[in-house]
Structure formats: structure tokens, C-alpha cells
A and B are shown apart, each in its own frame.
Chain A
């Protein structure tokens, strides 16, 4: 009896996780409208589609940013920019892949800093889907380092200002 209960529990857990994963994969990036402003710097996002980033929360709220830098600033300081929201509420993060300018998953992307490519807000973290692309970009554009989403801290953002 106990074994059956445990099995059911495991089954439900697996189902639940599978479902939430499917939900996360289903999340599509929204196109920034002409009135969407970056909550960090206040610039209109639609004018700079080549660097755009966005964060979608579980409740459906979406924030658009004019670059990965402002997206990280927002993400690392939610209490200031989106009071009441926590990092666990984030459903999806999208950034613009440098080479093909498509919106890709920001959580798994590679970011190059210190390069000679500047976004609308100056020095930027340039996102890539593949590590090989990030490595080549570093060589071509004199990037200083290549980091992942979880490595980004306020200390890393500071010299980009």
C-alpha cells in the first residue's frame, strides 16, 4: 500500500515537473511594442531591436529591456524595479542572439563582456546561443571574458557603466 502511494507520488511529481517544463518551453518571446519602455533606463525598446531583451513572470507580466545589461540590472535588483516579485517568479528570460538577431533563451546563453560592440546603453553583455560563437566573437571583437547567466553579479555590471 505504502509502495503504491509512493509510486503515485513519484508519478505526480514527474508529471508536474514535465508539465511545468512544457509550459516554460511554450513561452514565446513577445515583440516589443512602440510604447514599451525599458524599466531601468526609460528608453523605448522597439527602436533598438538588435539588442532587445525581456523577462516574463509567471503571472504573465512582461518587461522589455534595450539590452542584456539593463535586463541583468533589473533581474539582480527586483526589489527596486518590480517590488513584490521574486527571482523564483521569473518564467522566461529572452535575449537577442548577436549573430542572427533572434530572441533566444537568456538563461542558457553565453555572454561576452568587454568587446568593441556597443549597444544603445554603451558597453554591453553580448549574448550567444553557442559557446563556439561566443569564443569566435571574443576573438573578433576583443572581448575580455565569456560568462553564463548565473555568473552575472552587480560587481560584473559595474565596470560596464
Chain B
């Protein structure tokens, strides 16, 4: 047993020394390999983080949202509708919501304003997301002003600044009291933005939505699964674009591995010949080649993955900026929530390290079985 470990150790020692002897060639190989892994891992992390973000958004979403439309356009909904909708079997509760968007001309930013269901701020005070706090340089206790629907500015005291799991949801959020929001947005007392329904049994979603449409023909019930589809579409096209890049990089990797697999340079063949001549066995040479492949691919894998992590989560995927521009104009300081799935790292590992290591063994086996005399001549 110890003999076997010793043997592996000696071969590894020799392999490392051999790799260091050809610094230029192996360095170039390592950097190309690292770059490939970096791009692949960035894409994987990025698409997964987007999906994760979407799931976080959806977690908060109510089971059914009822909106009202007029001439096919969105309209505020009468609060009185909630009484009849509450009578429908399977509806646990109906909550009229008040929320909307506000474009800030001075800071070129879009805010989401919302009256929270529980623990709303006192009239005259607000809670703001960390993004707004950073952008406007406002802290707890400061007074901040926004122009209302009539153009008159209204000032609020900041009660709290929140940081939550998903920055996409809360970075641009302003929470305020119902009284303040009605005054700010001009929504009349008996109207609300939409109705949020709580429904326990998912089997009843469709039936309830149908009953609501029959009850109020100008209403538009939106079921959670539809919300999910919308998010999928929104995040899906970005992921789709990434997949195209992914395919190109994967192809590059295949060519790269193929190049390695088709043959060894005359110099490497000569080296194998010499090793055989001094008494190495075919199995020793294959072991050496195996270690060589493992060392290069593992180093490249680790480096590439770490770089990709930093790229996606610390610099908000700066290299992919043109692709995410769509919402970066809406959320100027948006950062993805770090999220790593063990499965995706394992996939990356099996897609890069394993095939590379295997492809380096075959040509060396071919070279190792040839007579050393022919190789060295």
C-alpha cells in the first residue's frame, strides 16, 4: 500500500518538474483552458442566479391577482369588489393592494412605491430600499422629497432602510402609508391598484379565476402560474442569449480537446521513448500523462470557477453588460444574489475536467506502445 502511494508520489513529482520545464507552452495551455472554464462558469452562474432571483420574486407573489381593465388597458379596481370575491369558495382572503411606479427625473431612476400589508410606516414617514438610499445619499431619520401626481413635492422622514435577500425586489422599493400613497398618487378612496387573493388549494385557481371573470366581465384575474410564465419569459430571453454563447464556447472546447487528442508533438513522443528506454513501463507513462492532465485541468477549473464567481457576483457580470442592459437602466445599482448550486458546479466539472483528462491519455497510450527505438530515431 505505502509502496503504491510512494510510486504515485514519485511520478507526480516527475510530472510537475516536467510541466515546469516547458513553462511557456503549458502556461499558454493553462490560460486558454482557464478562459474557457471562466466563460462557461460565468454563463452557468449567471443564468442560475437569474432563475433564483425569479423564484425569490415569485415566493412573495399572491396566488391570484385581480386587475380591472378598460378598453383593454389597466384601470384601478373598486375596493368594494373584494366583498363579493371573498364569497367565492376557496378564497381564503382578499387584500386590496396599493402600489405603483414613480420615475425620478433628477436621478433618472424608477422607484416602486407600495403600501405594505403589515406594519406600514406612519403617515409622513417611509421605508426605502438600499439602492435608493445609496443613490440619494439618504440615511435613517433624513427627510427626503418626491414630486406627487400633481407635481407638488411631498417630504417624508426615512423610518428604515431595508436589505433583503433579493435586491431585484427591494433595491428600488419605497414603502409608505395608505393615506400618504393616496395623496401622492391621486388614487381615490374607494379604488385600489389591484386585489391580491389568497387561495389554499392550487386545483381551484382556474375555477376561481373563471368565477371572477363571470362576476366582473371587465376584470382580469392573473393566476400565479401565469405570473411565473411572465417571469420565465422575462428572464428566459436573457438566458437564451447566454445559451448561444455557451454553445460557441462548448464548441471551442471540443476543438481544443480534439487538438490535444489527435496526437503528441514529436518532442513529447521522443520524451516518452526515452522514458521507455530507461525502463519506464507503459502503465507508468500513462499514469504520468493522467497526472499531467489532472493537474492542468483541475488548476484551470478552480481558477476559472473562482474568477467566474467574482465576475458574476462582485462585478454584476460586467462582461455581459450589454445583455443585461435591459434592466440595468431600471435598476442602476443592481447586484445578483450570490447563489451556487452544487449540481451546476459538478456539471461543469464533468464537462471540462473529465473529458480533457481522458483525451490526454489516449495519444500517450498510443505513443507508449510504440517501440522506443522508432520514436527516438
Do A and B pair up? The answer is: yes
**A-B contact count, CB below 8 Å?**
23
Give the residue among B89, B92, B204 with the most A Cβ atoms within 10 A. B89
B-side residues, CB < 8 A to A, are 89-90, 92, 200-201, 203-204, 207, 211
Q: Which residue of A lies closest to B204 (CB)?
A: A99
23 pairs, A vs B, C-beta closer than 8 Å: A50-B201, A50-B203, A98-B90, A98-B201, A99-B89, A99-B90, A99-B200, A99-B201, A99-B204, A100-B90, A100-B92, A100-B200, A100-B201, A101-B200, A101-B201, A117-B203, A133-B89, A136-B89, A137-B89, A140-B89, A140-B207, A140-B211, A141-B207
Main secondary structure of the interface of B (DSSP, over half): mixed
A124-142 vs B, CB cutoff 8 Å, 1 = contact: the mask equals 0000000001001100110
Distance between Cα atoms of A50 and B204 in the complex (Å): 12
Given contacts A50-B203, A99-B89, 11 further A-B contacts (CB under 8 A): A98-B90, A99-B90, A99-B201, A99-B204, A100-B90, A100-B200, A101-B200, A133-B89, A136-B89, A140-B211, A141-B207
Chain B residues within an 8 Å CB radius of A140: 89, 207, 211
Distance between Cα atoms of A49 and B128 in the complex (Å): 39
Chain A residues within an 8 Å CB radius of B89: 99, 133, 136-137, 140
Chain B residues within an 8 Å CB radius of A137: 89
Distance between Cα atoms of A140 and B205 in the complex (Å): 12
Q: Which residue of A lies closest to B208 (CB)?
A: A140
Distance between Cα atoms of A126 and B203 in the complex (Å): 12
Closest 5 CB pairs of A and B: A99-B90, A101-B200, A100-B200, A136-B89, A140-B207
Chain A residues within an 8 Å CB radius of B211: 140
Instruction: Give, as a whole number of angstroms, the nearest-CB distance from B213 to chain A.
Output: 14
Chain B residues within an 8 Å CB radius of A101: 200-201
Chain A residues within an 8 Å CB radius of B92: 100
Distance between Cα atoms of A101 and B204 in the complex (Å): 11
Q: Which residue of A lies closest to B202 (CB)?
A: A50
Q: Which residue of A lies closest to B198 (CB)?
A: A100
Instruction: Give, as a whole number of angstroms, the nearest-CB distance from B125 to chain A.
Output: 36
Distance between Cα atoms of A28 and B331 in the complex (Å): 50
Distance between Cα atoms of A141 and B210 in the complex (Å): 13
Q: Which residue of B lies closest to A99 (CB)?
A: B90
| CB interface residues, A 78-114, toward B, < 8 Å | 98-101
